[in-house]
Amino acid sequence: MGIFSQTAGQIFLQDVVSVYDRSPFEIAVFLLMLFVPIAALVSYAVVARRREHRRAAERAEKAFQTACRKHDLTPSRSALMEAIARQGARPDQKHLVFEDESLFNRGVKSLAAFGSFADDSISAMRLILGFTRHGGVPISSVSLPPGSGIAIAIEGQPTVTAARVRSQKIGGMVIETENEWKALKAGRRVRVLYQSSSGVYSFISTVLKVQGRLVLLRHSEHVNRSQRRRYFRKSVETEIGIATKKDSTFHPVTTVDMGGGGLSFRSDRPDLKVGTSITIRFYPPIAPEDDRSRTSNALGKIVRLGDDWSVHVQFTTIRDALRDRIISSLFRFSGDSAPTSSSDDLLSEE
């Protein structure tokens, strides 16, 4: 017996080791038997998921086609919605572009890189689907609600006139200007300024039709925060006070025009020369009724004198709140509610 004797424990360990002492073929057969069922289950799950996705996509396609018929879309508008859905939603969500404005906007944003669809076609679909997003940050020209004040300028020119939105139509946006503007003719490119609670925005449009004070503008999908708002001005007649360093008394004058960057007025005072620094005091309606006079003052410098006694002033120091009130004056509309009697076709619904 001696050292050649084996304990029960040693015998057990030898039996355990012998279990794993198998040939490569036996090991391969064992692994195959282990993994084949698992692979079969995984493959079934993948096939089932793909089948469900395909069925979901088929259901979405049927719902999409139903929505196209419901909205009575033309072939070109159906093609537009097809392109928007392809860019903005998964195949199983395709029909949701008729209901979810965020999916619609995502598709439009991606589609803009291709430039294959005109702005007015996209804006028309916004109106058809009710994706107008009034208030806050405007995403399209259709975001401007009827009745809102705007300012309009011929592209490349700083002078604006006040106007208001009369109606949003599939064929364009109808606006009403304060006065008939002979320079506004079909084909003219114009810049539209719009002020909301979140800032001043602008976009470029084209005049499609003019009838009296009513103007039909092409819709735009490119509305951006205006970085040049201070350089636009409007003809505004309002009383202000002017004082110089030599004469600190505020003398009343009447403005000719005004904007975020400066103003002009008429005066025959000989001490007002180019380069003269002046203090400008604003009164209501530019300044609030309850505002103290010192908070409604701005500093300016005379930059040009006109032959018609006009004095042109550039602001050098002005509070942001006061500048914002001046900019707001560009959007004040004082026209009547019946511009012409021959404009029924512009105001009629399509």
pLDDT digits (tens, 9 = 90+) for 205-258: 999 999 999 999 999 999 998 877 778 899 889 999 999 999 999 999 999 999
| Global pTM value | 0.77
pLDDT for 78 equals: 95
pLDDT tens-digit profile of 142-156? 999 999 999 999 998
Q: Which of 190-194, 207-211, 242-246, 283-287 bottoms out in mean pLDDT, i.e. has the lowest?
A: 283-287
Query: How far is the C-alpha of 207 from the C-alpha of 209, rounded, in Å?
Result: 6
- For residue 2, name the pLDDT band (cuts at 50, 70, 90): very low
Q: Which amino acid is at 123?
A: S
Q: 104 CB contacts (<8 Å, ≥6 apart)?
A: 84, 88, 97, 125, 126, 129, 131
On the CB side of 28, CA atoms within 13 Å amount to 3
pLDDT for 24 equals: 73
| CA angle (184 as vertex; 194, 327 as ends), nearest 5 | 30
pLDDT tens-digit profile of 81-134? 999 999 999 999 999 999 999 999 999 988 877 777 888 899 999 999 999 877
- The b-or-e profile of 259-269 (16+ CB within 10 A means b, else e) is bbbbbbbeeee
Q: Cβ-count burial of 333 within 10 angstroms (0-12 exposed, 13-18 middle, 19+ buried)?
A: middle
